[in-house]
Amino acid sequence: AQERYAGLRGLPAEAKCGTVVSLHMNAGLIAELPSLEGSGADGVGLFRTELQFLARNKVPKRSELAAIYSRVLDAAQGKRVVFRTLDIGSDKVLPYMKREEEPNPALGWRAIRVGLDKVGVMRMQLQALLRAANGRPLTVMFPFIAQFDEFRMARQHLLDEVERERKLGHPLPEKLEIGAMLETPSIAFAPRQFFEMCDFISIGGNDLKQFFFAADRENERVRRRYDSLNVSYLTFLQQIVERCNATGTPVSFCGEDAGRPIEALALTAMGLRSLSMRPASIGPVKHLIRRVDLSDARRVIDAARESGDQSVRGAVMEWLRTVG
């Protein structure tokens, strides 16, 4: 199937209307980085850093992490890599970290909540990232931000580490971008100043969808009940994009839906211009985007929203059959 899209590798995801969507890949291992070349991705839109913590029986050393992150940056050859800080808890539990049983782990002590409570671990990871960058541009993203202060505090920890590196005489990143994942509904309604403070925002659709519909993403019985092309959800995403656009905050989408062509099309119709997905999805998503006019897609979706349908999927599929 990959060969089928090989011819698209060097071509942009440019829709018929001329709009270009940038397509990035998700990764979590150095071994996946060769896909950057193979898939034609514009960069790594989400580098999940959990695996290096999960594959050990104790917290990894700063030097070990720095060596790994440095190799990731080497392999990316100047393409942007968005490093997401440790996102543990919920479905990803560290065997060596003591934690209490939680009745609802997805709503529990996870991600940035752990980071801000166990500041030593987060600071160590931030130091490792700064050392790995060794003067190169660095992009850091904090997961699961549910209120402004969490981002403000996490960002300050990073800025403090930068200051520490400066005092130690170590090279500082040529450029430092600090962003937040938008994966809880609350942060979509944060003060404007939150959006202004973020160098970029990445919508984590996997978590955002589970909280928006109150449907556990790990529970097969409920997770497929709510269509990603549900009218309420698409309208919510559209509003998030509009808020980001109002402050000029670059916004992208990195949940699994970005890698599903019809979903990716709906996301771009809602205004998203940057998507991050599994490398194997880049070809199929690009193929579909290049076939369509995004303003037509938007018109079809808007009409379906007006019609009272619960999902726009039927209307989009019907329209796609008429597209060459």
Question: Alpha-carbon distance 311 to 315, whole Å?
Answer: 9
Write the Ramachandran bin of 47: left for phi over 0, alpha for psi from -120 to 50, otherwise beta. Answer: beta
Nearer to ligand PEP, 277 or 315 (CB): 277
139-178 mask for ligand PEP (x: CB under 6 A)? ----------------------------------------
For residue 30, the partner it binds in Mg ion, ligand PEP, none, with Cβ less than 5 to 8 A by kind, is none
> Considering the complex, what minimum distance in angstroms separates the CB of residue 34 from ligand PEP?
22
Nearer to ligand PEP, 165 or 257 (CB): 257
Exactly one of 198, 254, 266, 270 binds ligand PEP (CB under 6 A); that residue is 254
Strands (E) located in the chain:
13-14, 20-27, 43-48, 80-84, 138-142, 176-182, 200-203, 251-253, 274-277
> Considering the complex, what minimum distance in angstroms separates the CB of residue 41 from ligand PEP?
16
Q: Binding-site residue total for ligand PEP (CB under 6 A)?
A: 10
> Considering the complex, what minimum distance in angstroms separates the CB of residue 206 from ligand PEP?
3
Question: Alpha-carbon distance 247 to 201, whole Å?
Answer: 11
Residue-wise burial string across 167-183, b where 16 or more C-beta atoms lie within 10 A, e elsewhere: eeeeeebeebbbbbbbb
Question: Alpha-carbon distance 266 to 20, whole Å?
Answer: 15
Question: Alpha-carbon distance 263 to 267, whole Å?
Answer: 6
Residues forming beta bridges with residue 182, ordered by sequence position: 203
Nearer to Mg ion, 165 or 263 (CB): 263
Exactly one of 43, 60, 115, 204 binds Mg ion (CB under 5 A); that residue is 204
Of 230, 209, 229, 228, give the one whose Cα is nearest residue 218. Answer: 209
For residue 60, the partner it binds in ligand PEP, Mg ion, none, with Cβ less than 5 to 8 A by kind, is none
Could you tell me which stretch among 29-37, 70-78, 205-213, 243-251 binds ligand PEP (CB under 6 A)?
205-213
169-198 mask for Mg ion (x: CB under 5 A)? --------------x---------------
Question: Alpha-carbon distance 294 to 304, whole Å?
Answer: 15
Contact residues for ligand PEP (CB under 6 A)? Answer: 46, 48, 87, 183, 204-207, 254-255
